[in-house]
Structure 1
Amino acid sequence: FHGGDQVNTIPDAAVAEVNVRTIPQFDNDEAIALLKGLVGEQNRRGARISLDPYMQEPVVQAPRDSLLVRLATKLGERISGATIPVVGVAGVTDASSLLRGKGPDFPFMMFGPGNETMHTVNENIDKQMYLDFVQLYQRLFVEYLGQAG
């Protein structure tokens, strides 16, 4: 939220950026319609609010139990020695664009190295984890293509 240059003055304008992460049961169109309704209601009362929705990426869904997920989980557990949970996440990914036109059963997953520094100023990854994932991806591609074909 940005509203002026000084704390002790009334700004001539204010801008708010809102990030709404939608789900299949409440998609982008519904979220935008709700926001437009709220803006319209306030404008009818004398406000001068505009709404500019951008980056409207569709929700990405993937089958939770697919050959790709099972193989990645198995390989990940073998390499890491830890249990790999299969969970849904709310995030923006290029998959929204790459999966357009694909059916709901198209094999997809978000799976990669990471830690608590993800998307922070000093984002980093452990070198060994990075190398382990290179090895995991190589094995995953060979096994998946061998079994899916």
Structure 2
Amino acid sequence: MKVLTLLFVFCLAGAAVAGEPFHALDRGQAAVLADPAAHAVPTVVALWSADCAYCKKNLAVFAALARAHPGLRLVTVATEPVAEAEAEPLDRLAVPGPRYAYGMEAPEALAHALDGRWRGELPRTLLFDGRGGCVAVSGVIGEAEARQALGF
């Protein structure tokens, strides 16, 4: 009986950690994500890849910011097609918010729709202050830099 109870508790804990499902990103949705007018609240759009260690550092910073600021919207975009393995790093870091992965369109077209100045380097982050401002950063971003760009 104790074993069954423990198994049940672990299953519940796993379900609580699991995040939102991934949505296939298309150019239209990418353009909306990149539009400062579409973000009425502070928003982070984090572009990442499963094999990018620096991306995971950024995701940890953004997850902590989201916990500290419940009004912060965090959107993740995996720069590869949806795969089951994509959810594991996000779930492990308890990254909240909508999850996207590149859909069936050409990766270059999706990248351009997200940020025409972006050349594909990762991590790439778009920080919207919720008042029409946007700061795009390539590379690891510190908490202080993120707070400043978001207006916190």
TM exceeding 0.5: no
Bigger strand fraction: 2
Q: Kindly indicate whether structure 1 or structure 2 has the higher relative contact order, using CA contacts under 8 Å at least 6 residues apart.
A: 2
Q: Which has more helix, going by share of residues?
A: 2
Q: What TM-score comes out, normalization by structure 2 length?
A: 0.23
TM-score (norm 1): 0.24
Greater Cα radius of gyration, structure 1 or 2: 1
